[in-house]
Amino acid sequence: MDLNIFVVLFCTLFTGGCSFKCYGCAGTSCVPKETTCLTASETCFSGTTVITSGGTTVTTKARGCFPTKSCINGYVNFGFFGTSMQCCTTDLCNSQDAPDPSSNTATGKQCYSCDANGCSNKLNCLQIDDICISVKSNSTSLPPTLKGCASKNSCDSLPQSFKDISCCQGNLCNSAESITQNLLLSLLFMFYILFF
């Protein structure tokens, strides 16, 4: 009998299924350790979040198990806040960090981003096929309009609660105002749950 078939049969019949393992860690200094996922419906993920405030940039990394149906391969970058996530489905496959969402690579693709002075900043996207994103916020602690770059997969994969998000293709296509309300807070909360 082939060894791989034997291992699968053994795990399924005698142990209730072999444990799925991922590397796990979180924080500014993420030192990965093997962790066992709680259910068979989980996958491994790596995440990177970058927040810039007052000239200080803090990068947080995370790795671990995550529900397969909710895991999104992609990123979003608003200039002052960016987060990326990578998912994989084999044991200990999350040994690498997710890409830095704030990386200013010279792909030629740009989207507008906002700061306290308006939304005329040009943000370099990670890949030429990325999309531009626009979000409106009514939070007093955040700019009223947020714009930036995102991977197409991120915009396509957001749950229905994010239907008001505005995504477009084309260089600097996000210059028009979006009509989203309270979306940023939900988006930030979702990424906080993912990485902290």
CATH number for the domain harbouring residue 47: 2.10.60.10
| Residue 161 per-residue DSSP state | G
Residue 14, in any domain of the structure: no
Least-confidence region, from 14-28, 92-106, 127-141, 167-181: 167-181
Task: Write out the residue range of the structural domain in which residue 158 sits.
Answer: 20-195
Residue 12, in any domain of the structure: no
Residue 64, in any domain of the structure: yes
Q: What is the mean pLDDT of residues 135-159?
A: 73
For the chain, how many structural domains are there in total? 1
CA distance 34 to 196: 18
Residue 6, in any domain of the structure: no
| pLDDT for residue 67 | 92
Residue 63, in any domain of the structure: yes
| pLDDT for residue 22 | 96
| Chain-centre distance for alpha carbon 128 | 18
Residue-wise pLDDT for 54-109, tens only, equals 889 999 999 999 998 888 898 989 888 899 999 999 999 999 999 888 876 777 88
CA distance 196 to 193: 6
CA distance 118 to 159: 29
